[in-house]
Amino acid sequence: MRLAVCTAAWLQHRRWRYRNHLMIPIHEAQQTVIEACTVLPALPTACEVMNGRVLAQDVVAPENVPPFTNTAVDGYAVRAADVQSVPVVLRVVDTLAAGAAPSVAVGSGESIRIMTGAPMPQGADAVVMVEDSVREGDAHVSLGRAAKVGDGIRDAGSDVRVGETVFVAGTVLNAAGAGVLASVNARSVLAYPRARVALLSTGDELVTDGSPLRIGQIRESNLTMLDAMIAASGCDVNNLGVVRDDEAELERVLLDVVEHCDAIVTSGGVSMGDFDVVKAVLSRIAKMQWMQLAIKPAKPFAFGQLIASDGRVIPIFGLPGNPVSSMISFELLARPALRKMMGHTVDLLRPTISAVLDAPIRRKADGKVHYVRVFGGFEPDGRLHVRDTGPQGSHQLAATAMANGLAYVPDGAGLAAGDEVNVYLLG
């Protein structure tokens, strides 16, 4: 009996090796795809659209921020020497609003009512907050807090000094960074553009207009999902919709759109052994690699290059048709490559974190790494705790919609509750 069990296990292992000997580890596929994609040429870019973009050269401040010494608070501009022993009553000689130029100097025993952001008047070296004052008629104010030189004042250049390198090339700007560019009058900077991505799917079975389904038809979902994912990656999406199963039509669409995009994403028709219009057309007009990845889901994946008339090499990411497979293929392969094209040099992939599994994940050995959709959060022990979101079929998108991570489950029988698991964070 033991010999029979060992023989069966050996035969199963041989079958896996025979069936999967051409499977590619995910890290090798990622390296192949990312290395084949080149960075887009940098362009002059307005600061208003720099949020999320990568700088192609250093930004040196042409101006001070703030450009002049001004008050940080609403209050009274004074000579600090006059406000050492409090309370003290000073004469109010003027009122100065933000945006107005001072025209009256502060002399001994005098003050000026001043608003936040207004330039400091000559003679004043401190500001006492309005909360520490009591107005006594129109011409005098009683100050209840002592002042020292510099109180309530923002010096010229205290945020950014002229000639200072504000950002270095390769910096990914956020909204605050875009605001900094505006503040130093760097209205246009050299940056990498958003990739223009053409998106399409094929299949006569796909219904997009909400009409009743006939036998054999299904609702389109991949384009809707991928459109949002591509846009969230920082790209501009040209959603071409569903192209019917007609080789001439698909070839026409691809040869037209390649002239106006930086990358192409297709959904469906990349499984081994399938001879459909996607594989037939792309094999004819592009240089393609039809991959079988050592992962589940998303085993089939295609990557290639199509040459535009101006010589540009346009990468093509062929994602599988099953919705979950399509999502995972995009996350692990297309997204990092598109980020590289847009100038990103680090964090091409989303972060991976070690987590605690709160419920077991069972699987069968098949020579592949399984990416299990999980949901979780940080617990009082300071660790991320996760559990699977439910059914894990490659067509079961509803459970995937609740996932905030992909658990990396190595080949074997699975993991037990309490085991550590690496989780690829989504979003």
With a pLDDT cut of 90, the percent of the chain lying above it is: 79
Residue 150 and residue 28 share a domain = no
Task: Tell me, yes or no, whether 7 lies in a domain.
Answer: no
Burial per residue of 8-25, b for 16 or more beta-carbon CB atoms within 10 angstroms, e otherwise: eeeeeeeebeeeeeebbe
pLDDT band at 144 (very low <50, low <70, confident <90, very high): very high
Q: What is the pLDDT of residue 17?
A: 44
- The residues with which 313 forms a beta bridge, in sequence order, are 307
CATH number of the structural domain spanning residue 413: 2.40.340.10
Residue 298 and residue 185 share a domain = no
Q: What is the pLDDT of residue 3?
A: 41
* Average per-residue pLDDT for the chain: 91
Q: Domain boundary residue among 168, 191, 214?
A: 191
Q: Domain boundary residue among 191, 209, 236?
A: 191
Average pLDDT over residues 78-89: 97
Residue 48 and residue 178 share a domain = yes
Neighbours of 35 (CB within 10 A): 10
pLDDT band at 11 (very low <50, low <70, confident <90, very high): very low
Phi-psi region of 159 (alpha: psi -120 to 50; beta: other; left: phi over 0): alpha
Q: What is the pLDDT of residue 210?
A: 76
pLDDT of 332 over the 60 cut: yes
Give the separation between CA 146 and CA 411, rounded to whole angstroms.
72
Average pLDDT over residues 342-350: 94
Q: What is the pLDDT of residue 204?
A: 73
Phi, psi of 39 (to 5 degrees): -70, 135
Neighbours of 368 (CB within 10 A): 23
CATH number of the structural domain spanning residue 240: 3.40.980.10
pLDDT in tens, 116-129: 999 999 999 999 99
Residue 250 · residue 278 · CB < 8 Å: yes
Average pLDDT over residues 96-105: 95
Average pLDDT over residues 287-308: 94
Residue 309 and residue 248 share a domain = yes
Residue that wins the pLDDT comparison between 216 and 342: 342
Residue 257 and residue 228 share a domain = yes
Report how many domains make up the chain: 4
pLDDT of 7 over the 60 cut: no
Residue 95 and residue 107 share a domain = yes
Amino acid identity, residue 113?
R
Task: Tell me, yes or no, whether 2 lies in a domain.
Answer: no
Average pLDDT over residues 161-166: 97
Residue that wins the pLDDT comparison between 218 and 255: 255
> What Cα–Cα distance (Å) separates residue 109 from each residue in 105, 158, 160?
12, 29, 34
- String of DSSP letters for 218-245: EE--HHHHHHHHHHHTT-EEEEEEEEPS
Q: What is the pLDDT of residue 385?
A: 97
Q: Name residue, tokens 């006492």.
A: 128
pLDDT of 19 over the 70 cut: no
Query: Tokens standing for 145?
Result: 């807090």
Neighbours of 56 (CB within 10 A): 20
Average pLDDT over residues 297-323: 94
> What Cα–Cα distance (Å) separates residue 202 from each residue in 207, 240, 258, 346, 373?
11, 10, 17, 34, 26
pLDDT in tens, 369-423: 999 999 999 999 999 999 998 877 677 677 788 899 999 999 999 999 999 999 9
Give the separation between CA 288 and CA 177, rounded to whole angstroms.
40
Residue 398 and residue 276 share a domain = no
Q: Name residue, tokens 């040099």.
A: 345
pLDDT of 34 over the 60 cut: yes
Task: Tell me, yes or no, whether 1 lies in a domain.
Answer: no
Q: What is the pLDDT of residue 208?
A: 77
Domain range for residue 245? Answer: 12-41+194-341
pTM of the model: 0.86
Q: What is the pLDDT of residue 16?
A: 44
Residue 278 and residue 232 share a domain = yes
Task: Tell me, yes or no, whether 259 lies in a domain.
Answer: yes
With a pLDDT cut of 70, the percent of the chain lying above it is: 93
SS3 152: coil
CATH number of the structural domain spanning residue 47: 3.90.105.10
Task: Tell me, yes or no, whether 387 lies in a domain.
Answer: yes
pLDDT of 2 over the 50 cut: no
Residue 263 · residue 36 · CB < 8 Å: no
Q: What percentage of the chain's residues is helix, strand, coil (to nearest 5)? A: 25, 30, 45
Residue 163 and residue 150 share a domain = no
Q: Domain boundary residue among 154, 173, 207?
A: 154
Task: Tell me, yes or no, whether 4 lies in a domain.
Answer: no
Residue 371 and residue 316 share a domain = no
Residue 319 and residue 218 share a domain = yes
Cis check: omega of the bond before 410, within 30 degrees of 0: no
Amino acid identity, residue 103?
S
Neighbours of 323 (CB within 10 A): 24
pLDDT band at 286 (very low <50, low <70, confident <90, very high): very high
Query: Tokens standing for 400?
Result: 């995937």
Task: Tell me, yes or no, whether 315 lies in a domain.
Answer: yes
Task: Tell me, yes or no, whether 235 lies in a domain.
Answer: yes
pLDDT of 84 over the 70 cut: yes
pLDDT band at 5 (very low <50, low <70, confident <90, very high): very low
Residue 31 and residue 55 share a domain = no
